[in-house]
Structure 1
Amino acid sequence: MVEPKRQLPEEVLVLIFRHLPLRDRAAAAAVCKAWASAVTCSTVWHDTNISCDCEQEGMLPPSLSTCLDHIRNLRLEFEPARKQSRWAAIQLLTALAGRAQGLRGLRLACRGEKPLFDSGSDILGAVHAVCRAARGLYLLDLRCLPFTLNDTLVLRVAHSCPELRSLFLDNCTLVGSVGPDSVLELLAACPNLRFLGLHLASLSPSALEMLAVPDRAPFMLLAVRCACPEDTRAPTLPDEAWAALRHRHPEMTVELELEPVLSADTVWRILQPSVPVAALRLNLSGDTVGPVHFAAQHYAASLRSLEVRAAASAALDTALENLAARCKGLREVHCFCVVRRAVLSAFRAHCPRLRSYTLKLTREPHPWQPTLVA
């Protein structure tokens, strides 16, 4: 313990306190005036991670409630099936909505299972309140919310947060309820949007055309998740529209996730040659070999990450070897089935930028851990 006359400098205390959970920050604030001054410093709260499962009281201690003014980027974890954790998250978001003028980034992450028939209306209502107050919001990441996101939320974000740069709505849900018209209204209201994550059913050719207009701010990432029944009925996004978008934003990349709900016809409607796919995740119930060959042929210049969940087969091994030979810029490849040794050798030989891979030669207990390349 440091003697009072040999107190650590405030800048050192700040570096320590920014890594403490809320209850420990509250305890530190009660030690002495110097610690109270350090723990309430805006630097401590600028980037804040809060887990509602780790806090004794589950929410911001009253003595530190004014520190909400200093939060610029918040990552909030909670478990929706646990009443105390869920209540704490709602209380914190509600309190933040009253002091959110300076908030720039909000990420919400759910842990554990979602209760059956849970629409998440209480959580989403709190998110609405934050968006209404935080007009300077730059980032809203709801990928880890298991609730259905709808047009009302998107339109609230569009009209309350005109400075938005990043919006991720490509979450795990059984229903896609964000319509293409709402996305068009979002793009019109937020001209500086550069990172966008959506379900396929929320996209339209008109959205790609709007992103490609000459006076649009540089667009960097489009994450597309295809996992809902609505996605199977989504209209085709023409290759010409992708080519125009790629020409307008040459640095843009696409993350594409294809889930078992998709039919073979839908998969081939999605896989257009001009899509600049950087990350491809294939978890298909049907043909996987064809999409891997397609990626090797058309996405060789852009592909950086590949994830495949499929049954082991000689045909899949051959497709992976072909992809390894063509996609030399790959940095990650994760195949969740046993492959032959030649597949591993091909990626190690042809992909000099490879940093992580899951390529198992024999069956192992799950979960499989990736191998890091030194």
Structure 2
Amino acid sequence: MVELGENLPEEVLALVFSLLPLRDCAAAAGVCKAWATAATSSVVWHNTSISCDCELESMLPPHLSTCLDHVHNLRLECEPSCKRSRQAAIELLTMMAGRAPGLRGLRLECRGEKPLFDAGRDILGAVSAVCRTASKLSHLDLRRLPFTLDDALVLQAAHGCPELRSLFLDNHTLVNGVQPGSVLELLKACPHLRALGLHLSSVSRAVLEALAAPDRAPFELLALRCACPEDARASPPPDEAWAALRCRHPELAVELELEPALSEDNVTRILQPAVPVAVLRLNLSGDTVGPVRIAARHYAATLRTLEVRASRSRELDAALEELAACCAGLREIHCFCVVRASVLDAFRERCPRLRSYTLKLKREPHPWRPTLLR
């Protein structure tokens, strides 16, 4: 097999190695000089996923250090409660901060439970260090970090990464530390930003007006998570601000994720007619029937995905059938409670673009798997 490998062109070897897990790629780099050259080429490392639980222990440090220059898009996974995994992630990010000019995309994912009273200062500090040097960074995704993201991090990203095209800060945290003023500074410093994920309390009328400015580049996606106490206390931007933003960016899609922290009054204020909601995720502790009916009434032309987590009821079934009749462009519907057969029939008959659904007619063991349509 080695003889065969030695006869293959470097670009073919590199393509093969790009499909291997990093530990196998590192092992291949030690076979011979030709394999080492191919295994450390930019083709292999352009899009890189690293799990700090297993990969780093098996990798050859010299190869890792050399190859960081070729990493353009990095997906880094770690477990904060595991000291070894956490330290490996911090060390790798610190290494990237020293050689980050080529980095274009960074996505961080934390698995497992976050230790109690853990602010994640070490991990967030390493992310800030990357932002200080990665001047060409285009995509930064922090949705899977379970720590409070604050103004300092946003401002560092704004001034260190002016080429940002997407930034996602809508993470699962109990506290939102990003104020609208920092978002305004971000929009000013990053004129090419096209996608932004925030908590609701980070958005104000001034933020929407900045996005709707005449000289703003086309803006495509605004993902809003409404889950923490700050979101529950926030006053949503008025409907006319959303209407102006929608007029300026007719292709804009809004993703809304509503969590139990919101009262019924807050939910009603958030679900305004002018918001171009494409994705709506409802996980409410109170009324869910009302929001489903509002979605059917307000977002018939824009809604593409609906997720509902609620208790079974005849009223919910009726609301879902009403929505199916209104939202012909719907592509996904996922309801995590048992529904009656007429609900399933309504979506299959009235939503010709439907591609995936979770509509169970009887209880099944979790996790429930969606049904895919061709």
If the length of structure 2 is used for normalisation, what is the TM-score? 0.98
Aligned to 1:252: 252
- Aligned counterparts, 1:53-202, within 5 A: 53-55=53-55, 57=57, 61-202=61-202
Aligned to 2:284: 284
Task: State the shift of 1:357 in Å.
Answer: 0.6
Deviations 1:86-133 (A, max 9, x none): 111111101111000010000001111111111111100100010001
Contact 1:22/1:60 (CA < 8 Å) preserved in 2? Answer: no
Task: State the shift of 1:27 in Å.
Answer: 1.8
Amino acid at match of 2:282: L
For the residue of structure 2 that corresponds to 1:225, the secondary structure is: strand
Task: State the shift of 1:4 in Å.
Answer: 5.5
Aligned length: 374
Question: In 1, distance between residues paired with 2:35 and 2:288?
Answer: 58
Aligned to 1:227: 227
Gaps of 5+ in 1: none
Gaps of 5+ in 2: none
Residues 1:24 and 1:216: Cα distance change in structure 2 (over 3 Å): same
- Aligned counterparts, 1:22-33, within 5 A: 22-33=22-33
Question: In 1, distance between residues paired with 2:140 and 2:5?
Answer: 45
Provide the alpha-carbon RMSD of the alignment.
1.2
Question: In 2, distance between residues paired with 1:37 and 1:185?
Answer: 44
Question: In 2, distance between residues paired with 1:103 and 1:250?
Answer: 31
Question: In 2, distance between residues paired with 1:353 and 1:53?
Answer: 40
Aligned to 2:348: 348
Task: State the shift of 1:24 in Å.
Answer: 2.1
Residues 1:5 and 1:145: Cα distance change in structure 2 (over 3 Å): closer
Residues 1:56 and 1:72: Cα distance change in structure 2 (over 3 Å): closer
Contact 1:59/1:91 (CA < 8 Å) preserved in 2? Answer: no
Amino acid at match of 2:36: A
Aligned to 2:7: 7
Amino acid at match of 1:131: C
Task: State the shift of 1:61 in Å.
Answer: 2.1
Contact 2:18/2:45 (CA < 8 Å) preserved in 1? Answer: yes
For the residue of structure 1 that corresponds to 2:57, the secondary structure is: coil
- Aligned counterparts, 1:44-59, within 5 A: 44-55=44-55, 57=57
Contact 1:175/1:229 (CA < 8 Å) preserved in 2? Answer: yes
Amino acid at match of 1:197: G
Residues 1:58 and 1:123: Cα distance change in structure 2 (over 3 Å): farther
Task: State the shift of 1:5 in Å.
Answer: 8.3
Amino acid at match of 1:221: L
Aligned to 2:323: 323
Task: State the shift of 1:366 in Å.
Answer: 1.2
Contact 2:260/2:283 (CA < 8 Å) preserved in 1? Answer: yes
Contact 1:59/1:88 (CA < 8 Å) preserved in 2? Answer: no
Task: State the shift of 1:66 in Å.
Answer: 1.2
Aligned to 1:368: 368
For the residue of structure 1 that corresponds to 2:13, the secondary structure is: helix
Question: In 1, distance between residues paired with 2:21 and 2:308?
Answer: 37
Task: State the shift of 1:30 in Å.
Answer: 1.6
Question: In 1, distance between residues paired with 2:58 and 2:125?
Answer: 19
Deviations 1:318-345 (A, max 9, x none): 0000100110111110000010000000
Amino acid at match of 2:356: S
Question: In 1, distance between residues paired with 2:141 and 2:243?
Answer: 28
Question: In 1, distance between residues paired with 2:209 and 2:309?
Answer: 33
Contact 2:6/2:34 (CA < 8 Å) preserved in 1? Answer: no
Question: In 2, distance between residues paired with 1:133 and 1:56?
Answer: 23
- Identity among equivalent positions (%) equals 74
Contact 2:167/2:195 (CA < 8 Å) preserved in 1? Answer: yes
Deviations 1:182-216 (A, max 9, x none): 11111111111110000000000000000001110
Deviations 1:264-314 (A, max 9, x none): 111111111000000000001111111101111110111000000011100
Amino acid at match of 1:32: C
Question: In 2, distance between residues paired with 1:155 and 1:173?
Answer: 19
Contact 2:246/2:252 (CA < 8 Å) preserved in 1? Answer: yes
Question: In 2, distance between residues paired with 1:302 and 1:345?
Answer: 22
Contact 2:97/2:134 (CA < 8 Å) preserved in 1? Answer: yes
Residues 1:32 and 1:299: Cα distance change in structure 2 (over 3 Å): same
